[in-house]
């Protein structure tokens, strides 16, 4: 499969003159979630503080740790932190999953620090992991000093990086399930369901199709927000930084995105794909690929620009078994990979027998 790495995406802005309505945010980016390509934005590469939208990365790393259902004892040191809290008590036992609920719904800085200590031993070590992940995702204008989003000298992101981080995080099923939850009951210092957590993301109640993901605010950063919504098969992610009217900004930008993009089949006619065979009873064989749900979220103007790439070797040596993977079919838009599928042999090919091979050679070289 062609690897979808966000750092290699070429930015694509649709209808440069046809933007959403007036946006209050200093910087914003609307991206198509499957590809991470830019639909519209402003100051998308300006480095700005991100406040608690930082917790998207913290929560993602926790969800990817493989330890979500492991129970931990809450240490005292990470609870010495200012700002929002889920009300953790030193010495209480809690699962990592419930910590992530407290992190993403109540925006608990105590949860963020506790996750860092439990998984990596310190704030600094966890921040290193956050930055490693950002680098792996190609988020070149993002740097983390801490897991909570409190202001730091080198704690920054951009609207585009943040939107793409959000799109990537929403691909994790545990993460997506947590941030889509409006209210959750978790234990409080041994009392079952003793702690009530309520999501700060009002769009979950106010905008049809909203899936998550995170709010943020400090005096330095102003209001920050990342949202994800899906309608009619199209999934969008919006990030706004320094947005005093962020709820309305997101409604406007999401409305614009859904008005521009629609779910579209990529194949008008199935291509006839054949592979060349050497040393077999056949010179060529038919190939196939899975055509089901071969779709992408595109504008009407984009569809004619989609290119199909059939990636096969010049030839294959027999024997070939039916269903053997031979290559790949890839659909791209301005070098951004939309969809890729394996190409398989639709029929087997046996190698030519030694006697037939000798006869063939005699006919060629009498």
166-215 pLDDT, tens digit per residue, is 999 999 999 999 999 999 999 999 999 999 999 999 999 999 999 999 99
How much of the chain, in percent, has pLDDT values that exceed 90? 88
How many residues are present in the chain?
366
Which positions ≥6 away from 10 have C-beta within 8 Å?
37, 334, 335, 336
pLDDT at 361: 58
| pLDDT of 238 strictly over 80 | yes
pLDDT at 161: 98
- CATH-assigned architecture of domain 274-354: Sandwich (2.60)
| pLDDT of 146 strictly over 80 | yes
Is 329 in contact with 308 (CB distance < 8 Å)?
yes
pLDDT at 60: 98
Query: Average model confidence (pLDDT) for the chain?
Result: 92
| pLDDT of 155 strictly over 70 | yes
pLDDT at 43: 98
Structure tokens at 127: 């921040």
Structure tokens at 120: 């990596």
In tens, the pLDDT along 111-122 reads 999 999 999 999
| pLDDT of 349 strictly over 90 | yes
| pLDDT of 363 strictly over 90 | no
pLDDT at 352: 86
How much of the chain, in percent, has pLDDT values that exceed 70? 91
Which positions ≥6 away from 364 have C-beta within 8 Å?
none
| pLDDT of 105 strictly over 90 | yes
Per-residue confidence band for 91, with pLDDT thresholds at 50, 70 and 90: very high
| pLDDT of 163 strictly over 90 | yes
Class of domain 6-260: alpha beta
Q: What's the Rg (C-alpha) of the chain? A: 25
**Average pLDDT of span 91-98:** 98
Calculate the alpha carbon distances from 130 to 20, 148, 231, 305 in Å.
32, 11, 31, 36
Which positions ≥6 away from 363 have C-beta within 8 Å?
none
pLDDT at 8: 35
d(CA 109, CA 2): 38
**Average pLDDT of span 43-60:** 98
Per-residue confidence band for 362, with pLDDT thresholds at 50, 70 and 90: low
| pLDDT of 85 strictly over 90 | yes
Show which residues are catalytic.
52, 55, 107
Identical fold for domains 6-260 and 274-354, yes or no, is: no
Domain boundaries defined on the chain? 6-260, 274-354
Q: Within 13 Å, how many C-alpha atoms sit on residue 98's CB side?
A: 24
| pLDDT of 9 strictly over 50 | no
In tens, the pLDDT along 279-304 reads 999 999 999 999 998 999 999 999 99
Is 254 in contact with 238 (CB distance < 8 Å)?
yes
Which positions ≥6 away from 166 have C-beta within 8 Å?
56, 213, 214, 226, 228, 237, 239
Q: E strands within 182-266?
A: 183-188, 191-198, 210-218, 222-231, 234-241, 262-265
Per-residue confidence band for 270, with pLDDT thresholds at 50, 70 and 90: confident
Q: What are phi and psi of 263, to 5 degrees?
A: -70, 125
Least confident piece of the model among 30-34, 68-72, 136-140, 189-193? 189-193
d(CA 177, CA 363): 67
CA dihedral over 185, 186, 191, 195, signed as positive or negative? negative
pLDDT at 28: 98
């Amino acid at each position: 499969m062609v690897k979808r790495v966000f750092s290699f995406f070429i930015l694509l802005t649709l209808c440069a003159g046809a933007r959403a309505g007036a946006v209050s945010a200093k910087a914003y980016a609307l991206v198509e979630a499957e590809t991470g390509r830019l639909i519209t934005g402003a100051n998308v590469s300006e480095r700005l503080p991100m406040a608690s939208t930082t917790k998207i990365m913290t929560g993602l790393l926790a969800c990817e740790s493989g330890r979500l259902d492991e129970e931990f004892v809450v240490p005292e040191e990470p609870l010495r932190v200012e700002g929002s809290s889920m009300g953790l008590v030193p010495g209480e036992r809690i699962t990592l999953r419930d910590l992530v609920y407290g992190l993403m719904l109540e925006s608990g800085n105590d949860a963020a620090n506790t996750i860092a200590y439990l998984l990596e031993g310190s704030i600094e070590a966890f921040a290193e992991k956050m930055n490693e992940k950002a680098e792996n995702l190609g988020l070149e204008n993002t740097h983390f000093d801490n897991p909570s989003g409190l202001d730091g000298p080198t704690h920054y992101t951009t609207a585009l990086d943040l939107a793409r981080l959000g799109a990537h995080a929403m691909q994790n099923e545990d993460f997506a399930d947590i941030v889509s939850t409006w209210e959750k009951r978790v234990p409080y210092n041994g009392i079952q369901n003793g702690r009530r957590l309520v999501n700060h993301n009002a769009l979950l109640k106010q905008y049809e199709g909203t899936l998550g993901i995170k709010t943020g605010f400090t005096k330095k950063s102003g209001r920050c927000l990342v949202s994800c919504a899906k309608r009619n098969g199209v999934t969008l992610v919006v990030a706004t930084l320094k947005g005093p009217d962020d709820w309305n900004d997101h409604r406007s930008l999401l409305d614009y995105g859904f008005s521009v993009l629609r779910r579209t089949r990529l194949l008008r006619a199935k291509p006839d794909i054949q592979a060349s065979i050497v040393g077999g009873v056949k010179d060529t064989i038919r190939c196939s690929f899975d055509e089901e749900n071969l779709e992408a979220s595109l504008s009407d103007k984009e569809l004619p620009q989609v290119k199909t790439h059939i990636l096969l070797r010049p030839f294959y040596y027999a024997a070939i078994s039916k269903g053997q993977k031979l290559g790949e079919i890839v659909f791209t838009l301005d070098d951004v990979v939309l969809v890729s599928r394996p190409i398989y042999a639709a029929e087997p090919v046996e190698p030519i027998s030694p006697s037939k091979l000798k006869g063939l050679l005699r006919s060629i070289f009498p």
